[in-house]
Structure 1
């Protein structure tokens, strides 16, 4: 099947992060069912967002997961030259929201299904599609929790986030925190009669800034990453109605990105301790996922190097669900089509060559797992 046609269908669903995705999931489920592949739908607590899991080949032997997210970031930028949710082809560029991040990989996988179902797979290929990855991998934990009931323990997971089809061995973990402050409004000429919510936030913001500086100076360090240490930043603050009104509410959103082996939530502890001791403040963790760390000589790294034709890259700066799969005991690696630098921008695109290259890699995986490939008989990759 032509992956461009599939990508056009997928882009047409405006599956923006944080919004219902039932229409897109129904389309994919129906497509798979049309080729004799049943799907399991794993819903989340939101009630209107769903993960999808499907297996090609035997379910009761270890196989490989092809993992991707179906959500996209909003497409409200004025620089779009056409409808972001209508795929446009200009020369070799296929333009649309999610074309590269990451419906291109989903299209490559799904368009390979008609050929994969004709192969005599001795090991299964699992398709795992999740929701709200762009909000901090919120959907996939519900799917990972169900995996023991859906298939034999997988040998490995390939996350198709854009990497130029270069296998990626490491990425940082991330945690995001929202701190809210409550105060008492009044006229700014009498601050003694009110309680300034923005002022209430200042100790926690200072703690974050100091911890960010300490991490940069003291580490721990990991030279695989740029920068080679864990980072924190205050990414958003909001509060107040007018200069002469005491603000009665305020919020701050804080992000921590941790080198592999460091819990990103622990980086936020200095701020959380202050919240616990101040009745004006409350905190909500809005995202959290661990980093990924795989050695260059891991069997999965060597296997994906062979499938992709590219030597592994030590690390990238963005994050994926790969760390969550690894945390669950499933070796994981990132390898997908296109350039991450095009993501989250107007006129986002993937090239036709990149799209077909990803489909070729998926078909190579199918042939590697087909009958007669004795290299996989022992359960090693």
Structure 2
């Protein structure tokens, strides 16, 4: 095992041992303060210039930017990962890393402290070998909730003098570069009715009945949506206030997963088209993130090829869920690839240490090859 592989495995265990549950998901949880301090001390000692970036209105939630040395004209690569985790319900010792052969278990092991450890140790190896590439680690808060960490770091990049050429996000993909990921739109639909005594329903307007017809329309239309690579479902429904009263209101949340090429605006229009004729109803967009697709050519596509060649994979992973690639794509061409395991967001989360080692070992050479090719263009 190489030095960088050994370091990545050791750092994965160190990071799993640090509680960094997102307080936006679990009120009062630890957040990212301790893990940022731990990584900042390490990266300072490794020769990086570090900066803590706090998200506005987040109660001081920190992200860490660590800039490696480089010369003017060197290609700049952002290596991105998130430091927060989901909660630990159902886990007996969530922050005690347990190793069983090449499995390391604990909260955040796969999502995504194994990926972060591989990025950090690979970046240290890059800096130690002084290749013609500048690496910038952006280790962010709040990915599991509102992405305020990446948004704050992206806003801060110009003031830090960072103009990246490409971004690599080490989310778990089984070391297969992602070719796409789906976005989402959450739409709140509300029906207004008229209350009446339930013994005289003809005097009222039953909002729950309108909701029921709408839910059936959503389920029927979902088949066509899935055929296009998206998804559609009602995930929350409620209505009425009391027995013996015709319900005067009902509402639901509709979740529309969008495929690349679809937008949140078109998803909202699609939901509105499903509202029952004659119903007093409104549909409003509550939250959304757009879909993403790997560039067909350019820096990210080239880096995906180099990385896939080194790992024996290719850009075939179509993620059914959302990750922060669209946020970074607005800054520079972006690639998603990282080590996986199992039990993400579940009580039995684990990371495959073979993948952590392979990713950490491959990345320094891949970045060197990619940078040499870019400079030769």
Post-superposition offset of 1:284:
5.1
For residues 152 and 39 of structure 1, do their structure 2 counterparts lie closer, same or farther at Cα, with a shift above 3 Å needed? Answer: closer
1:195-220 superposed Cα distances (whole Å, 9 cap, x missing partner)? 8765575576466446534435xxxx
Would you say 1:14 and 2:20 are equivalent positions? yes
Aligned equivalents of 1:131, 1:185: Cα separation in 2: 46
Post-superposition offset of 1:171:
2.0
Q: Cα RMSD (Å) of the superposition?
A: 3.6
Corresponding residue of 1:36? 47
Corresponding residue of 1:224? none
Corresponding residue of 1:260? 260
Corresponding residue of 1:347? 348
Q: More deviation in 5-14 or 100-109? A: 5-14
For residues 249 and 279 of structure 1, do their structure 2 counterparts lie closer, same or farther at Cα, with a shift above 3 Å needed? Answer: closer
Selected match of 1:322 from 325, 328, 348:
325
List runs of 5+ in structure 1 lacking aligned partners: 217-226
Corresponding residue of 2:3? none
Corresponding residue of 2:121? 111
Q: Does structure 2 conserve the Cα–Cα contact (< 8 Å) formed by 1:264 and 1:290?
A: no
For residues 320 and 246 of structure 1, do their structure 2 counterparts lie closer, same or farther at Cα, with a shift above 3 Å needed? Answer: same
1:130-175 superposed Cα distances (whole Å, 9 cap, x missing partner)? 3333336454233333333334432222121111111122222222
Q: Does structure 2 conserve the Cα–Cα contact (< 8 Å) formed by 1:235 and 1:253?
A: yes
Q: TM-score, structure 1 length as denominator?
A: 0.78
Post-superposition offset of 1:104:
0.9
For residues 259 and 318 of structure 1, do their structure 2 counterparts lie closer, same or farther at Cα, with a shift above 3 Å needed? Answer: same
Selected match of 2:76 from 63, 71, 76:
63
Q: Secondary structure at the match of 2:109?
A: coil
Would you say 1:49 and 2:61 are equivalent positions? yes
Q: Does structure 2 conserve the Cα–Cα contact (< 8 Å) formed by 1:169 and 1:295?
A: no
1:72-221 correspondence to structure 2 within 5 Å: 72-77=85-90, 80=91, 82-135=92-145, 137-179=147-189, 198=208, 201=211, 205=215, 208-209=218-219, 211-216=221-226
Corresponding residue of 1:222? none
List runs of 5+ in structure 2 lacking aligned partners: 1-5, 26-30
Corresponding residue of 1:375? 373
1:283-337 superposed Cα distances (whole Å, 9 cap, x missing partner)? 45234132224338932332222343423315332332123322x1522222100
Aligned equivalents of 1:294, 1:34: Cα separation in 2: 36
Selected match of 2:333 from 323, 331, 334:
331
Aligned equivalents of 1:183, 1:54: Cα separation in 2: 56
Q: Does structure 1 conserve the Cα–Cα contact (< 8 Å) formed by 2:132 and 2:368?
A: no
